[in-house]
Chain A
Amino acid sequence: MSEQAVTEMSFEQAMAELERVVGQLESGNVPLEQSIALYERGAALKARCEAKLKDAEEKVAAITLDRDGAPTGTVPFDGQ
């Protein structure tokens, strides 16, 4: 299994692996001894997905909260 660093993953990559991890945990095929490590990987993936979602929400907020009420394109939220 490739163990790409979670912090380098895109939302799509993290979500895809999270779905795979949850599926494995629910399949009953993961040994008891290893299931906590897999759970922890899943928790890190979930945190990555949530962080990427929050990033996206802030970008959306930056657009909708533009002072003229008009979209400003791609100005980062942090830059305002």
Chain B
Amino acid sequence: MIYFSHDDGLNHETPPGHPEQVARLEAIRSALAGFDLDRREAPLGEDADILRCHPQSHIDHIVGSAPTVGWRSIDADTHMSPGTLTAARRAVGGCTAAVDGVLDGESRTAFVGCRPPGHHAERETAMGFCFFGNVAIAAKRALDHHGLARVAVVDFDVHHGNGTQDLLWDEGRALFISSHQMPLYPGSGHAHERGAHDNVLNLPLPGGTGGHEMRLVYEDAVFPALLAFRPELILISAGFDAHRADPLAGLMWETEDFTWLTARLCDVAEAVCGGRIVSTLEGGYDLQALGASVAAHAAVLKERGA
């Protein structure tokens, strides 16, 4: 497994008390400190990659909103500090470099431990702590730059990946699958939202859903859909806020559930795409649960992606 991260992610500062905080990245780094990994610095994302998902006006808006001191609020959740823009570009660049590394055969798996997250960022709207659609940008790079015919994105963050859904809605070469608590932010993700090419699969879960029920949903719906679509690469929006300890949601998954889910996704990837998986960090706001869950996720990706 290749692990992409960058110190610039520590410079994306959010206001005091904000859950998407610098300490999240520190918790992940501590959790992965003992791992023997192929560690690489996430490069800065290129406009050419971002432009496959967002118009120039969105890039200009984000660049133009960056403050020189303090914070500037994009919405009630989403704030920019002087270091945010570079951190956001590292998160994009980490994802595209991870796609390159895996598709070039350097490793079967990669994990991008960058922040800010990306799955809420819509085509022209930064929201929900997100600025650019990191995982969708990575999917488009795999399709347009590497020429893959089909990619899948699996989003197990507890919140619906409305941004990824928006960016891939009319992309028939991409299958987007999201499991998420509903009702909860951002309010989208109903099962009837299916994409322009029947390429979106939403699996809303009621509050309190535990790991056992999650496993049934993934076995019944997610894995068969992936096997039928036969993606040539599986991308994961890895949010760890479905953990029972998370303060921003009400699902009841345990750390072992992330181990199970990662292993089963590796099984599917081995069956359809040579085991190729690129996973990128999304949410997860209880620092202890986040660290433990990322370690569990990475341990499987490392073992299976050797």
Interface residues of A (CB under 8 A from B): 22, 25-36, 39-40, 42-43
Cβ–Cβ < 8 Å partners of A33 in chain B: 18-19, 76-77, 248
A31 with B187: CB separation less than 8 A: no
B75 within 8 Å of A by Cβ?
yes
Number of interface residues of B (CB under 8 A): 22
A32 with B186: CB separation less than 8 A: yes
Interface bits B117-144 vs A (CB < 8 Å: 1, else 0) = 0001000000011000000000000000
- How far is the CB of B116 from the nearest CB of chain A, in Å? 12
- In whole angstroms, how far apart are the Cα atoms of A35 and B189 in the complex? 15
B224 within 8 Å of A by Cβ?
no
B183 with A42: CB separation less than 8 A: yes
Closest to B208 in A: A43
Q: Which of A25, A34, A40 makes the CB contact (< 8 A) with B187?
A: A25
B250 within 8 Å of A by Cβ?
yes
B249 with A36: CB separation less than 8 A: yes
B22 within 8 Å of A by Cβ?
no
B248 with A31: CB separation less than 8 A: no
- In whole angstroms, how far apart are the Cα atoms of A21 and B26 in the complex? 36
- In whole angstroms, how far apart are the Cα atoms of A30 and B185 in the complex? 7
User: Could you show 10 A-B contacts with beta carbons less than 8 Å apart?
Assistant: A25-B187, A30-B185, A31-B185, A32-B77, A32-B159, A33-B18, A35-B248, A36-B184, A43-B207, A43-B250
Cβ–Cβ < 8 Å partners of A26 in chain B: 183, 187
- How far is the CB of B172 from the nearest CB of chain A, in Å? 26
Besides the contacts A22-B183, A35-B248, A36-B184, what 14 more A-B pairs have beta carbons closer than 8 Å?
A: A25-B183, A25-B187, A26-B183, A28-B186, A30-B187, A31-B75, A33-B18, A33-B76, A33-B77, A33-B248, A35-B184, A36-B248, A40-B250, A42-B183
Q: Which of B76, B120, B183, B186 makes the CB contact (< 8 A) with A39?
A: B183
Closest to B130 in A: A32
- How far is the CB of B99 from the nearest CB of chain A, in Å? 27
B70 within 8 Å of A by Cβ?
no
A32 with B250: CB separation less than 8 A: no
- How far is the CB of A60 from the nearest CB of chain B, in Å? 28
A36 with B77: CB separation less than 8 A: no
